Structure 1
Amino acid sequence: MDFLLHHGFTMLGQQVSLAELTGQVAALAVVFLAQRRTLWTWPVQVAATVLLFSVYLSAHLGGLAARQVAILLISLYGWWAWTRRRDPVYGVVVRKGSARERLAMLSAFVAGTTAMALVLDALDASWAPWPDAAIFVGTLVAFAAQGAGLVEFWLVWLIVDGIGVPLQIASGLWFSAAIYLVFAALVVRGWWSWNRSAEQSGAQGSIQLSTGVL
């Protein structure tokens, strides 16, 4: 891992390590795979977390480093959950969250960000505790919703990307910031794809109920 951290290339005057390059490319692939609702989403995510953990730890971003550990654990849950909710033709079944689920996601994001920021500040584990914490908690909320097959997880990712780009730039991680911008474009496309699938599933369910087919 030391080799990957200390070797790389220069981009726009900034050093990009092989660990950052490989980890962010793998993370980018995760968004692409998630859009297609394939189980390969999760093992690729596991590989990305291992690499990015070392990158953020070396950049003194404790929240983003801890985020990778949490992502690893949630990825294992997501992998298990998707195997149980998999359609042999269309991939994992997705749906729109209820009003209660959306409120729970928002509450978890606000309360979790506040608590995590205070912890990071108290431990001096991050030079930017509030955005660092927001990205950490937003990621947990997004991956938990993704594991449950909720369309809204894409919208949470947009928030995370919006916070992450300026934080990565301020931290000197220009390549990661550029990747976050690509993430945002893929997230919008992913939301559109999942939203359409959820509407089709809902319409099919309504037809089955009206015809008495269960």
Structure 2
Amino acid sequence: MNKTITMAALCLAMLAVAYFTSSTTLEMVATITGLLSVWLTARENIWAWPIGLINVACFFYMFWDVKLYADMTLQVFFFALSIYGWIVWLTKRGSGRVRPTRRIGRGLAIGLLLLLPLVTWGWGAWLAAYTDASIPYADAFIATLSLIAQYLLSYKILENWYCWLLVDVLSVGMYAYKELYAVAFLYVIFLAITATGLYSWHKQWRAANSANVGYGDSEARHRGEIGYER
């Protein structure tokens, strides 16, 4: 009950910020659905995905309007990954509501770390050369990191939260610079929820991992599936 009251209070706070910063109706809907989606994700609630799809649609149009084209394009990938994540979370869940949390493998982690600067440079260069993007390389970096975070989230890999923490910090600055103050404030709240999500998921993973110690490596890897590491 207390968590529901807290969430309602956050939504009211976001509406107040949106009103006093003269935000558009679209921006208000985008911020509220974004807040709900992240909050539900931190609680491992499957409703995070359908609400997230609404949020993605709102942000697609909003980013197009302010010429943040990397973030706009990102929403297309988010839409696809959200549908996929919705499906993945409901598979191989046993008796749980959703699939258990997993850890990233060394190979996947190295691959993503190499991919991040390469995609950022290519995407940023393309935006700078062929569009009137406002801040092409910063936009491309945040967009690429967000895509990596969403990919990990869709597979329910714990390390997605570390990526989102960095995305949130950088996004506060970028959206404030673009005078999207309600969205910037939303990302401040995201920071707090992301930290809570990281703590909650890590606690749940540790508890599940401890319970599975007696199952043996083959069973543990079957449960971890993608890049499982203790």
Distance (Å, rounded) in 2 between the aligned partners of 1:67 and 1:155: 19
Per-residue CA deviation, residues 126-175 of structure 1 (Å, 9 max, x unaligned), is 11011111121111101110111110000000111121111101101001
Match of 1:171 among 171, 178, 185: 178
1:91 paired to 2:128: no
Is the CA contact (8 Å cut-off) linking 2:59 and 2:72 kept in structure 1? yes
Identity value in percent: 21
Match of 2:138 among 100, 109, 131: 131
Match of 1:29 among 25, 36, 46: 36
Moved over 3 A (4+): 8-14, 87-90
Unaligned runs of 5+ in 2: 1-14, 223-230
Per-residue CA deviation, residues 41-70 of structure 1 (Å, 9 max, x unaligned), is 111110001111111111111111111111
Unaligned runs of 5+ in 1: 1-7
- Could you tell me how far 1:12 is from its partner in structure 2? 8.6
Is the CA contact (8 Å cut-off) linking 1:9 and 1:15 kept in structure 2? no
Distance (Å, rounded) in 1 between the aligned partners of 2:164 and 2:19: 26
Q: CA RMSD in A?
A: 2.3
Distance (Å, rounded) in 2 between the aligned partners of 1:100 and 1:199: 22
1:144 paired to 2:147: no
TM-score, with length taken from structure 2: 0.82
- Could you tell me how far 1:90 is from its partner in structure 2? 5.1
Q: Which residue of 2 aligns with 1:192?
A: 199
Is the CA contact (8 Å cut-off) linking 1:97 and 1:151 kept in structure 2? yes
- Could you tell me how far 1:101 is from its partner in structure 2? 2.2
Is the CA contact (8 Å cut-off) linking 2:164 and 2:194 kept in structure 1? yes
Q: Which residue of 1 aligns with 2:74?
A: 67
Match of 1:207 among 214, 218, 221: 214
User: Whose strand fraction is larger, Structure 1's or Structure 2's?
Assistant: 1
- Could you tell me how far 1:186 is from its partner in structure 2? 0.5
